[in-house]
């Protein structure tokens, strides 16, 4: 096989739809633009949600209620079983978790959860701990230190 033998797979390439080539082509007369009106004209575009001057649905429905999600605290979850990659006696904090790829993205803090089985004695600094994670860490002689985050201190 040589370069000149290469061909795209069958069905991978399509012909361009040629509009206005007579009525028998199937794309003649109105050229796929329907009847008359605003959308049939060239250079015309209608913004999303526009209903021809009628009050749009998004403005018709009442805006009521309150959503507390904006004020909630979002944690990055890290399972206790993932902490086995660190050596015995390691001080595990947010910088170490982010450097090792266990905690990615923006959030208000890190929460250690009890998923998995911990086998190392560690000192863990995090913003929150689940009861099962705290029990596993302290059962092996490790420590759980809670960090006060700036996001919660200002609130």
| Domain CATH number, residue 143 | 3.100.10.10
What percent of the chain is helix, strand and coil (3-state, nearest 5)?
30, 15, 60
- The per-residue pLDDT string of the chain (155 residues; one tens digit each, 9 = 90 and over) reads 899 999 999 999 999 999 999 999 999 999 999 999 988 999 988 899 999 999 999 999 998 888 888 889 999 999 999 999 999 989 999 999 999 999 999 999 999 999 999 999 999 999 999 999 999 999 999 999 999 876 555 44
Residue 69, pLDDT score: 85
Look at residue 115 and tell me if it is in a domain. yes
Answer whether 80's CB lies under 8 Å from 133's CB: yes
Look at residue 28 and tell me if it is in a domain. no
Domain count, the chain: 1
Residue 150, pLDDT score: 66
How far, in Å, are 106, 132, 134 from residue 152 at the CA level? 15, 24, 21
Helix (H/G/I), strand (E/B), else coil: 151: helix
Q: Which domain holds residue 108?
A: 74-149
Look at residue 78 and tell me if it is in a domain. yes
Residue 70, pLDDT score: 84
Helix (H/G/I), strand (E/B), else coil: 112: strand
């Amino acid at each position: 096989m040589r370069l000149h033998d290469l061909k795209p797979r069958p069905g991978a390439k399509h012909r361009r739809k040629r509009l206005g080539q007579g009525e028998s082509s199937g794309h003649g007369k109105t050229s796929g633009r329907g009847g008359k009106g605003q959308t049939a004209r060239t250079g015309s575009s209608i913004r999303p949600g526009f209903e021809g001057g009628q009050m749009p649905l998004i403005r018709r429905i009442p805006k009521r209620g309150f959503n507390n999600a904006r004020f909630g605290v979002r944690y990055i979850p890290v399972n206790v079983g993932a902490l086995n990659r660190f050596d015995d006696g390691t001080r595990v904090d947010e910088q170490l978790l982010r450097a090792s790829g266990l905690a990615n993205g923006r959030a208000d803090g890190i929460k250690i959860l009890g998923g998995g089985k911990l086998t190392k004695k560690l000192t863990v600094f995090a913003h929150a701990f689940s009861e099962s994670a705290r029990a596993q860490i302290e059962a092996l002689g490790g420590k759980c230190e809670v960090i006060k985050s700036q996001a919660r201190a200002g609130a």
